Structure 1
Amino acid sequence: MGSHKIRVGMIGYQFMGKAHSHAYRDLPFYFEQEVVPVLQAIAGRNEEKVKKEAEKLGFLSYETDWKKLIEREDIDLIDIVTPNNTHAEMAIAAAESGKHVLCEKPLALTAEQAERMYQAVKKNRVIHMVTHNYRFAPAVQYAKKLIEDGRIGQIRHIRATYLQDWMMDPNFPLVWRLRKEITGTGTLGDIGAHSIDLARYLVGEIDEVMGTMKTFVKKRPLGETKGGLSAKVESEHMGDVEVDDTAAFLANFENGALGVFEATRYAGGNRNGNRFEINGSKGSIRWNMEKMNLLQVYFDDDEPGLQGFRTIHCTEEHHPYAEVYWPAGHGIGYEHTFINLLSCFMDGVAKGVAPRPNFEDGLMNQRVMEAVVNSTEKRQWIKIPK
């Protein structure tokens, strides 16, 4: 059976644009799929820059107006890798044009926006996903299998932290991730959203939260992102930091589990400390993105004297997605989580079903984040709307 092509139009081209483009290009190298992506066109406001990036990333053409990209008849999928305040308008326009939609996280600025996005993709029957790529690390997928198989029993706890330190310098500029009208929230939406998504994936739906949020540096020099997480100061003028530098919250899950969450950019020495530990009635699981191929597992029924956490190198054919890459013990990296996610997306296009995490998950994550903000303001427990 032959494959058919899906023509990709990507809006944006910086950090996430690079990650997504690489994944599209490498996907057919590792996965044999019915649907194969073609890098058709990229959109960006600066013609000189977008032309250069189109050539570098491997796109066949470019546009300087994202609306023209969506209107093009030679585009089947719109991939949104722009700042958060643009997601809703772009995704809804793409869905109404009959295009499939892949959107970066967090899905929107508000739950109300996320709801409109979800209704748009449902109404227009297009395939949709939100790019919570950490679900697609083989170790996380294997953790999910162990949990579903009942190996750690009834889940009682999840401790999820996402610790970074790249904004600790008070002279780091006021980039878009620190401006409320563009980003919505600070650490909560930028990195806490990943912890929320992993918790919902592995443990279950969250029932209520109690949160607190802080901003340590209130003013920063004006500046812009250069690419990745680096930035440059462009003015000696200062601007107000309007979002959280750190967010923490407690969560009660619908299945009775208790969650403790922390997201911060002020944890010195933690470059990308995305971690969780899940404790059940029969055992425990630990994972750390900085050692993404390793999964630590403890089983309560191990014999006395040999009990303790064992470390599994999730690179064998028994581990989800690992079998398409290298021999056992030959690790994969951050970029492969996007390739795995895209393989899932392309399967969804072939089958006509929106794979998880999709816009419904993005909406649920947004509701949790909004409840954390409301809880912080009201200093009380907040139920998650259903």
Structure 2
Amino acid sequence: MPSEINVGLVGYKFMGKAHSNAYMTVDKFFDCTARPVMKAVCGRDQSAVSEFAERWGWQGYETSWEKLVARDDIDLVDIGTPGSTHAEIAIAAAKAGKHVFCEKPLAMNMAECRAMIDAVRSAGVKNMVNFNYRRVPAVALAKQMIDNDAIGEIRHARFTYLQDWLVDPMFPMNWRMRKESAGSGAHGDLGAHAIDLAHYLVGDLASVVGQKKTFITERPAEGTSSGLTATAGEGTEEVTVDDSSMWLAKFESGAFGSFEATRLAPGRKNFNRFEINGSKGTLVWCFEDMNWLEFYTTEDTESARGFRRILATESSHPYVGNWWPPGHILGYEHGFVHAVYDLLEDIAHDRPCVPDFRDGAKCVAVLEAVDKSIETNAWANVERVN
């Protein structure tokens, strides 16, 4: 059982910061069987990545992911780069005998997903996809309540992920708006999170029918960009991904689902919300109020029925006992810390990671099925992933 796990991170911008913070923090609050050692971070810009390494506590840096993956002193490769790079890096890391932690969506298409799954299975390495919202205590509590039959048989599930950072047509281009680097727009970027929450809380999706649209088809060319901020360069560029997607679904259980993702909803900053209706109750959660879970049950007396708000900050709630006293709320970064903790423990104890590459592929299968339904103007079945 290792006492240390040497980490190499590929990518140093938005996700690079979130992942770095998790590695810096996790063994300060959690009793880790194996602590992470932040060996090296990788980026193409030597000046920028070296500055990042010093600022965020990495021992060194590389400007070639191939060199990072080949290093003998790296046990775990963490991939926080655009989706178009995931498959190549993950497959190389697996072949080099490294465990792999990858951002979502897992890959650009199902062919890449299958190749990634084959690579990690052949190598026998641990693999996890960073669907960080599973690790929010209120969401993990919802999972426990569903498993304990608190709302009965699930009949309806609604998943909505709304942002507004692209409402301004003068917001410049970046990689998230190019099909060749991102694969899709709001559909894959935001919808992937909604799909994974649906899989986690409700179950597998069987068939879908949907629509997507690009409302702003041209934007100022990219100058510089980082995360969800950017400055314009010269000229304009065509947007080649969707701004919004909306679709219906049938779960294998028989439940109905609806999904919406957009980056053009004024006033919605990170409105990642679900409402799940069962035969005897309802659960509601929204990331913009992430510490609260709403619960309604028909088992209350008629005169006392109504939604109750559960503040998921007690030590009895998932993960929370390692943080602050009750009522001292958690934030966005904590989901990443929880994911890293679970990943390190899974590696240390040689147990399966959840969600793994198969779960990531199941998400991509749904994204592709929605695209197929749009092409055929009909319901499409979701590919099963073995």
Which TM-score band applies after superposition, normalised by the shorter structure? Answer: over 0.9
8 A contact 2:126–2:352 mirrored in 1: yes
Normalised by the size of structure 1, how large is the TM-score? 0.98
Counterpart for residue 302 of structure 1 = 300
Q: Distance in 2 between matches of 1:142 and 1:252?
A: 24
User: Is 2:348 aligned against 1:355?
Assistant: no
Counterpart for residue 275 of structure 2 = 277
8 A contact 1:3–1:33 mirrored in 2: no
8 A contact 2:84–2:183 mirrored in 1: yes
Q: Distance in 2 between matches of 1:125 and 1:379?
A: 41
Q: Distance in 1 between matches of 2:353 and 2:294?
A: 27
What are the Cα deviations for residues 300-356 of structure 1, in whole angstroms up to 9, with x where unaligned?
110012111100000001211111111111101100000111111011101222311
Q: Distance in 1 between matches of 2:18 and 2:102?
A: 13
% same residue: 48
Q: Distance in 1 between matches of 2:220 and 2:226?
A: 18
Q: Distance in 1 between matches of 2:306 and 2:2?
A: 47
Counterpart for residue 156 of structure 1 = 155
User: Is 2:185 aligned against 1:186?
Assistant: yes
8 A contact 1:217–1:241 mirrored in 2: yes
Q: Distance in 2 between matches of 1:227 and 1:22?
A: 17
Q: Distance in 2 between matches of 1:353 and 1:372?
A: 33
Counterpart for residue 255 of structure 1 = 253
Q: Distance in 2 between matches of 1:350 and 1:47?
A: 33
Normalised by the size of structure 2, how large is the TM-score? 0.98
SS where residue 304 of structure 2 aligns? coil
Counterpart for residue 214 of structure 2 = 215
Counterpart for residue 171 of structure 2 = 172
8 A contact 1:176–1:224 mirrored in 2: no
Counterpart for residue 127 of structure 1 = 126
SS where residue 38 of structure 2 aligns? strand
Q: Distance in 1 between matches of 2:325 and 2:281?
A: 29
Structure 2 residue runs of 5 or longer lacking an equivalent are none
Cα separation, partners in 2 of 1:336 and 1:348, compared to 1, 3 Å: same
Q: Distance in 2 between matches of 1:121 and 1:286?
A: 36
What are the Cα deviations for residues 157-212 of structure 1, in whole angstroms up to 9, with x where unaligned?
11100000000111111211000010001001101100000000000000000010
Q: Distance in 2 between matches of 1:143 and 1:223?
A: 41
8 A contact 2:128–2:357 mirrored in 1: yes
Counterpart for residue 100 of structure 2 = 101
What does residue range 82-101 of structure 1 map to in structure 2 within 5 Å? 82-101=81-100
Q: Distance in 2 between matches of 1:109 and 1:206?
A: 19
Q: Which amino acid aligns with 2:106?
A: L
Return the offset for 1:268.
0.5
Structure 1 residue runs of 5 or longer lacking an equivalent are none
SS where residue 305 of structure 1 aligns? helix
Q: Distance in 1 between matches of 2:52 and 2:25?
A: 18
8 A contact 1:176–1:225 mirrored in 2: no
What does residue range 189-200 of structure 1 map to in structure 2 within 5 Å? 189-200=188-199
Q: Which amino acid aligns with 2:290?
A: M
8 A contact 1:103–1:131 mirrored in 2: yes
Return the offset for 1:225.
5.1
Q: Distance in 2 between matches of 1:371 and 1:173?
A: 30
User: Which segment drifts farther, 349-358 or 267-276?
Assistant: 349-358
SS where residue 341 of structure 2 aligns? helix
User: Is 2:371 aligned against 1:373?
Assistant: yes
SS where residue 332 of structure 1 aligns? coil
Aligned residues: 384
8 A contact 1:251–1:259 mirrored in 2: yes
Return the offset for 1:228.
2.3
Return the offset for 1:113.
0.6
Counterpart for residue 143 of structure 1 = 142
SS where residue 340 of structure 1 aligns? helix
Return the offset for 1:226.
2.6
8 A contact 1:274–1:288 mirrored in 2: yes
Counterpart for residue 265 of structure 1 = 263
Q: Which amino acid aligns with 1:8?
A: V
What are the Cα deviations for residues 25-80 of structure 1, in whole angstroms up to 9, with x where unaligned?
10001110111101000111111111101101110011111100000000000000
Q: Distance in 1 between matches of 2:295 and 2:344?
A: 32
Q: Distance in 2 between matches of 1:350 and 1:70?
A: 20
Q: Which amino acid aligns with 2:311?
A: H
What does residue range 51-62 of structure 1 map to in structure 2 within 5 Å? 51-62=50-61
